[in-house]
Protein backbone atom coordinates (compact mmCIF):
# COMPACT_ATOMS: atom_id res chain seq x y z
CA UNK A 1 0.00 0.00 0.00
CA UNK A 2 1.33 3.40 -0.95
CA UNK A 3 2.07 6.14 1.54
CA UNK A 4 -0.71 8.15 -0.11
CA UNK A 5 -3.25 5.43 0.58
CA UNK A 6 -2.16 5.23 4.18
CA UNK A 7 -2.53 8.96 4.57
CA UNK A 8 -6.02 8.83 3.10
CA UNK A 9 -7.02 6.08 5.53
CA UNK A 10 -5.58 8.09 8.43
CA UNK A 11 -7.42 11.23 7.29
CA UNK A 12 -10.75 9.45 6.90
CA UNK A 13 -10.41 7.67 10.23
CA UNK A 14 -9.34 10.76 12.16
CA UNK A 15 -11.82 13.15 10.55
CA UNK A 16 -14.62 10.61 10.95
CA UNK A 17 -13.79 10.23 14.60
CA UNK A 18 -13.66 13.99 15.08
CA UNK A 19 -17.07 14.60 13.50
CA UNK A 20 -18.43 11.59 15.31
CA UNK A 21 -17.12 12.80 18.65
CA UNK A 22 -18.33 16.43 18.48
CA UNK A 23 -20.01 17.37 21.75
CA UNK A 24 -21.87 20.35 23.19
CA UNK A 25 -19.99 23.05 25.07
CA UNK A 26 -21.38 23.98 28.49
CA UNK A 27 -24.30 21.51 28.17
CA UNK A 28 -25.56 22.14 31.69
CA UNK A 29 -24.81 25.90 31.86
CA UNK A 30 -22.36 25.20 34.68
CA UNK A 31 -20.19 28.15 33.64
CA UNK A 32 -23.01 30.24 35.07
CA UNK A 33 -23.50 31.96 31.72
CA UNK A 34 -24.18 31.24 28.04
CA UNK A 35 -20.61 30.26 27.14
CA UNK A 36 -20.74 28.11 23.99
CA UNK A 37 -24.34 29.02 23.17
CA UNK A 38 -25.65 31.60 20.69
CA UNK A 39 -28.93 33.33 21.49
CA UNK A 40 -31.81 34.17 19.14
CA UNK A 41 -34.91 36.24 19.86
CA UNK A 42 -33.13 37.74 22.86
CA UNK A 43 -35.31 40.49 24.30
CA UNK A 44 -33.93 40.21 27.81
CA UNK A 45 -35.84 36.96 28.22
CA UNK A 46 -32.91 34.49 28.16
CA UNK A 47 -31.21 33.80 31.47
CA UNK A 48 -28.89 31.33 33.19
CA UNK A 49 -30.02 31.02 36.80
CA UNK A 50 -29.25 28.93 39.85
CA UNK A 51 -32.82 27.98 40.71
CA UNK A 52 -33.35 24.28 41.45
CA UNK A 53 -31.34 23.01 38.47
CA UNK A 54 -31.66 19.44 37.23
CA UNK A 55 -27.89 18.98 37.62
CA UNK A 56 -25.11 21.09 39.05
CA UNK A 57 -25.75 24.68 40.01
CA UNK A 58 -27.26 26.39 36.95
CA UNK A 59 -30.00 25.95 34.34
CA UNK A 60 -31.37 27.94 31.40
CA UNK A 61 -34.57 29.96 31.78
CA UNK A 62 -36.58 31.20 28.77
CA UNK A 63 -39.84 33.08 28.38
CA UNK A 64 -41.63 34.90 25.61
CA UNK A 65 -40.62 38.36 24.38
CA UNK A 66 -43.93 40.08 25.28
CA UNK A 67 -44.16 41.86 21.94
CA UNK A 68 -47.87 41.09 21.49
CA UNK A 69 -47.12 38.88 18.47
CA UNK A 70 -45.83 35.40 17.76
CA UNK A 71 -42.15 35.19 18.75
CA UNK A 72 -39.42 32.60 19.19
CA UNK A 73 -36.49 32.71 21.60
CA UNK A 74 -33.73 30.40 22.66
CA UNK A 75 -30.14 29.30 22.28
CA UNK A 76 -28.26 27.00 19.92
CA UNK A 77 -24.89 25.45 19.07
CA UNK A 78 -23.59 24.35 15.68
CA UNK A 79 -21.71 21.06 15.40
CA UNK A 80 -20.32 19.08 12.45
CA UNK A 81 -22.37 16.15 11.18
CA UNK A 82 -22.18 13.36 8.61
CA UNK A 83 -24.99 12.87 6.04
CA UNK A 84 -26.88 9.67 6.73
CA UNK A 85 -25.71 9.42 10.32
CA UNK A 86 -28.28 9.33 13.11
CA UNK A 87 -27.95 11.66 16.08
CA UNK A 88 -29.63 11.82 19.46
CA UNK A 89 -30.48 15.08 21.19
CA UNK A 90 -31.64 14.98 24.80
CA UNK A 91 -32.01 17.05 27.92
CA UNK A 92 -34.30 17.95 30.80
CA UNK A 93 -37.14 20.49 30.54
CA UNK A 94 -39.23 21.99 33.33
CA UNK A 95 -42.51 23.87 33.26
CA UNK A 96 -42.04 27.09 35.24
CA UNK A 97 -40.20 28.15 38.30
CA UNK A 98 -40.78 25.79 41.25
CA UNK A 99 -44.39 26.29 42.32
CA UNK A 100 -44.99 29.38 40.15
CA UNK A 101 -44.55 30.94 36.70
CA UNK A 102 -46.06 27.96 34.85
CA UNK A 103 -46.58 28.22 31.10
CA UNK A 104 -49.79 29.96 30.10
CA UNK A 105 -51.79 29.57 26.89
CA UNK A 106 -49.85 29.75 23.60
CA UNK A 107 -46.44 29.11 25.21
CA UNK A 108 -44.49 26.02 24.21
CA UNK A 109 -40.90 24.82 24.64
CA UNK A 110 -38.99 21.96 23.07
CA UNK A 111 -35.72 20.66 21.59
CA UNK A 112 -35.04 21.06 17.89
CA UNK A 113 -32.38 20.08 15.33
CA UNK A 114 -31.68 21.99 12.11
CA UNK A 115 -29.51 20.70 9.25
CA UNK A 116 -27.31 22.96 7.08
CA UNK A 117 -25.19 22.38 3.98
CA UNK A 118 -21.69 23.75 3.37
CA UNK A 119 -23.03 27.07 2.09
CA UNK A 120 -25.14 27.60 5.20
CA UNK A 121 -28.49 26.81 3.59
CA UNK A 122 -30.93 25.06 5.92
CA UNK A 123 -31.88 21.66 4.52
CA UNK A 124 -34.54 20.79 7.07
CA UNK A 125 -35.34 20.54 10.75
CA UNK A 126 -36.94 18.28 13.35
CA UNK A 127 -38.96 19.59 16.29
CA UNK A 128 -39.26 17.29 19.29
CA UNK A 129 -42.73 18.42 20.28
CA UNK A 130 -45.27 15.76 21.24
CA UNK A 131 -46.78 16.63 24.62
CA UNK A 132 -47.22 15.45 27.24
CA UNK A 133 -44.23 13.14 26.87
CA UNK A 134 -42.01 15.42 24.76
CA UNK A 135 -41.91 19.20 24.96
CA UNK A 136 -43.78 21.58 27.27
CA UNK A 137 -46.98 23.58 26.88
CA UNK A 138 -49.74 25.09 29.00
CA UNK A 139 -51.21 21.63 29.62
CA UNK A 140 -47.98 20.25 31.07
CA UNK A 141 -48.59 19.27 34.72
CA UNK A 142 -47.64 22.02 37.17
CA UNK A 143 -45.63 19.66 39.35
CA UNK A 144 -42.14 21.26 39.26
CA UNK A 145 -40.78 18.09 37.65
CA UNK A 146 -37.79 18.03 35.33
CA UNK A 147 -38.91 15.98 32.31
CA UNK A 148 -36.42 13.98 30.24
CA UNK A 149 -36.75 14.70 26.52
CA UNK A 150 -34.89 12.68 23.88
CA UNK A 151 -35.20 12.08 20.16
CA UNK A 152 -33.20 10.71 17.23
CA UNK A 153 -32.88 12.24 13.78
CA UNK A 154 -30.85 11.38 10.68
CA UNK A 155 -28.74 13.98 8.89
CA UNK A 156 -30.00 14.44 5.31
CA UNK A 157 -27.83 14.26 2.19
CA UNK A 158 -25.55 17.29 1.93
CA UNK A 159 -25.70 18.18 5.62
CA UNK A 160 -22.37 19.18 7.16
CA UNK A 161 -23.63 21.16 10.15
CA UNK A 162 -26.30 20.39 12.71
CA UNK A 163 -27.74 23.13 14.88
CA UNK A 164 -28.83 21.97 18.33
CA UNK A 165 -31.64 24.32 19.38
CA UNK A 166 -33.44 24.92 22.70
CA UNK A 167 -36.52 26.96 21.92
CA UNK A 168 -39.40 28.76 23.64
CA UNK A 169 -42.24 29.52 21.22
CA UNK A 170 -45.06 31.96 21.84
CA UNK A 171 -47.75 31.67 19.16
CA UNK A 172 -50.44 34.15 20.05
CA UNK A 173 -51.19 37.85 20.07
CA UNK A 174 -51.29 38.52 23.78
CA UNK A 175 -49.05 38.62 26.78
CA UNK A 176 -49.50 35.21 28.40
CA UNK A 177 -46.45 34.45 30.50
CA UNK A 178 -44.66 31.53 32.05
CA UNK A 179 -41.11 30.24 31.86
CA UNK A 180 -39.51 27.15 30.37
CA UNK A 181 -36.30 25.70 31.81
CA UNK A 182 -33.60 23.56 30.22
CA UNK A 183 -30.66 21.69 31.77
CA UNK A 184 -28.23 18.81 31.29
CA UNK A 185 -28.36 18.71 27.48
CA UNK A 186 -26.62 16.03 25.48
CA UNK A 187 -25.99 15.50 21.79
CA UNK A 188 -24.15 12.75 19.97
CA UNK A 189 -24.20 10.16 17.24
CA UNK A 190 -26.26 7.05 17.75
CA UNK A 191 -23.81 4.18 17.22
CA UNK A 192 -24.70 2.18 14.15
CA UNK A 193 -22.99 -1.14 13.40
CA UNK A 194 -22.14 -0.12 9.85
CA UNK A 195 -20.29 2.98 10.99
CA UNK A 196 -18.30 1.16 13.65
CA UNK A 197 -17.45 -1.60 11.19
CA UNK A 198 -16.16 1.10 8.87
CA UNK A 199 -14.00 2.59 11.60
CA UNK A 200 -12.63 -0.84 12.57
CA UNK A 201 -11.94 -1.73 8.94
CA UNK A 202 -10.11 1.56 8.50
CA UNK A 203 -7.98 0.97 11.57
CA UNK A 204 -7.28 -2.62 10.49
CA UNK A 205 -6.23 -1.52 7.00
CA UNK A 206 -3.92 1.03 8.57
CA UNK A 207 -2.33 -1.57 10.85
CA UNK A 208 -1.92 -3.94 7.91
CA UNK A 209 -0.33 -1.23 5.82
CA UNK A 210 2.16 -0.51 8.61
CA UNK A 211 2.97 -4.21 8.96
CA UNK A 212 3.50 -4.59 5.20
CA UNK A 213 5.65 -1.47 5.21
CA UNK A 214 7.83 -2.88 7.97
CA UNK A 215 8.31 -6.21 6.15
CA UNK A 216 9.40 -4.41 2.99
CA UNK A 217 12.10 -2.42 4.76
Residues that bind Ca ion (CB under 5 A): 28, 53, 55-56, 58, 183
Task: Work out how close the CB of 30 gets to Ca ion at its nearest, in angstroms, rounded to a whole number.
Answer: 5
SS3 18: helix
Task: Work out how close the CB of 129 gets to Ca ion at its nearest, in angstroms, rounded to a whole number.
Answer: 23
The nearer residue to Ca ion, 94 or 108, going by C-beta atoms, is 94
The nearer residue to Ca ion, 114 or 183, going by C-beta atoms, is 183
The total of other beta-carbon atoms located within 10 Å of residue 99's CB is 10
Q: Is the dihedral of CA 185, 39, 15, 128 positive or negative?
A: positive
The total of other beta-carbon atoms located within 10 Å of residue 41's CB is 19
Q: What is the DSSP letter of 156?
A: P
Distance CA 120, CA 16 (A): 21
Q: What is the DSSP string of 175-202?
A: ----EEEEEEEEEEEPP-HHHHHHHHHH
The nearer residue to Ca ion, 28 or 74, going by C-beta atoms, is 28
The nearer residue to Ca ion, 58 or 129, going by C-beta atoms, is 58
Contact present, 94 and 145 (Cβ < 8 Å)? yes
Instruction: Collect all residues with Cβ–Cβ distance below 8 Å to 132 and sequence separation of at least 6.
Output: 139, 140, 141
Task: Work out how close the CB of 169 gets to Ca ion at its nearest, in angstroms, rounded to a whole number.
Answer: 23
Task: Work out how close the CB of 150 gets to Ca ion at its nearest, in angstroms, rounded to a whole number.
Answer: 17
Report the residue number whose CB is nearest to Ca ion.
28
Task: Work out how close the CB of 54 gets to Ca ion at its nearest, in angstroms, rounded to a whole number.
Answer: 6
The nearer residue to Ca ion, 85 or 136, going by C-beta atoms, is 136
Amino acid sequence: MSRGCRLIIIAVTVSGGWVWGAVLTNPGFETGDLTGWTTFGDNGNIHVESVSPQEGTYALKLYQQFTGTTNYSGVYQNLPCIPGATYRSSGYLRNGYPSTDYLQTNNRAFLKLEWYDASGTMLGFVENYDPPSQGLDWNTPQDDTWRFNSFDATAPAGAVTVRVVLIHAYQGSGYEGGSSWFDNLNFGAVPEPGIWVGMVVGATMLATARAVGRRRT
